[in-house]
């Protein structure tokens, strides 16, 4: 018996580092999955790797910054599985590294569209399903960047501060209906996103950038996607039945040092 036997979980950004590992861990615990990503072939590959048929998993393509596409993935999940037990509201982009005066307006808008509007639309359409059911758990992907200022990251930091704000508001709105809303706030995690941030930060010395980022962490290393996924699974599970409006940092002690 798995901890998530028969439970239906939506994951956005499901083909990315943290999303993919979380999907694997949930599948191993018996969950049925609606995997959402901008790249449909990539998410189909995840399902193939998990060896799940359509009774256990469906692949859904969506640009989370577009409201109609978010509504479509939520409707498709309910139509296929009949319910939504959990939602990992995870899709996001990092933008570029530049001081505010040099930060392109179109890049700022892109980051906010995906990270803020994408998270908002997910909540807007998943929460009513869960309220009607009288239960459900939502985990938003924030970031340690949503708790501090990081020079050069005005787009990303602003967006993740907003995700934390949404988490706190919606948790209070949903609590009377048996719906829990929390967030994970990863630090430097060994994923494609950090490869891009390293490249953006020190284009001529990406390995040096990685060493510098690692040195800023009290534990002295990057985290692994599995270490974030473990916290996500806890928050989605009944083990966290009295946990809501919480922001879980997964950062090796970096933010609160």
Task: Name the more confident of 14 and 223.
Answer: 14
pLDDT tens-digit map of 137-191 = 999 999 999 999 989 999 999 999 999 999 999 999 999 999 999 999 998 888 7
Domain 8-187+223-249 bears CATH identifier 3.40.720.10:
no
Q: 40-52, pLDDT tens digit by residue?
A: 999 999 999 999 9
DSSP structure class, residue 86: E
pLDDT in tens, 22-71: 999 999 999 999 999 999 999 999 999 999 999 999 999 999 999 999 99
Contacts of 27 (CB under 8 A, 6+ apart): 33, 50, 52, 56, 57
Catalytic residue among 156, 222, 242, 248: 156
Higher pLDDT, 199 or 130: 130
Q: What percent of the chain has pLDDT over 70?
A: 99
Give the pLDDT of residue 31: 98
**Beta bridge partners of residue 138, listed in sequence order:** 87, 181
Q: Is 156 a catalytic residue?
A: yes
């Amino acid at each position: 018996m798995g901890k998530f036997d028969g439970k239906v979980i939506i994951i956005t950004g499901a083909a990315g580092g943290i999303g993919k590992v979380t999907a694997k861990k949930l599948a191993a615990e018996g969950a049925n999955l609606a995997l959402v990503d901008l790249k449909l072939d990539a998410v189909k590959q995840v399902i193939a790797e998990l060896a799940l048929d359509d009774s256990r998993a469906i692949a859904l393509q969506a640009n989370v910054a577009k409201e109609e596409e978010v509504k479509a993935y939520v409707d498709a999940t309910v139509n296929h599985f009949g319910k939504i037990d959990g939602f990992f509201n995870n899709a996001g982009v990092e933008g570029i590294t530049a001081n505010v005066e040099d930060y392109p307006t179109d890049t700022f808008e892109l980051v906010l569209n995906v990270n803020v509007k994408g998270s908002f639309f997910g909540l807007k359409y998943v929460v009513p399903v869960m309220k009607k059911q009288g239960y459900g758990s939502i985990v938003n992907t924030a970031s340690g960047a949503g708790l501090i200022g990081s020079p050069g990251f005005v787009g990303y930091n602003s967006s993740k501060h907003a995700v934390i704000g949404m988490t706190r508001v919606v948790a209070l709105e949903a609590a009377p209906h048996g719906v829990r809303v929390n967030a994970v706030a990863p630090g430097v995690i060994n994923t494609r996103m950090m490869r891009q941030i390293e490249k953006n930060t020190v284009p001529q010395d990406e390995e040096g950038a990685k060493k510098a980022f690692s040195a800023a962490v009290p534990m002295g290393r990057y985290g692994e996607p599995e270490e974030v996924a473990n916290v996500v699974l806890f928050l989605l599970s009944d083990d966290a039945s009295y946990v809501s409006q919480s922001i879980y940092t997964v950062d090796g002690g970096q933010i609160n040092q």
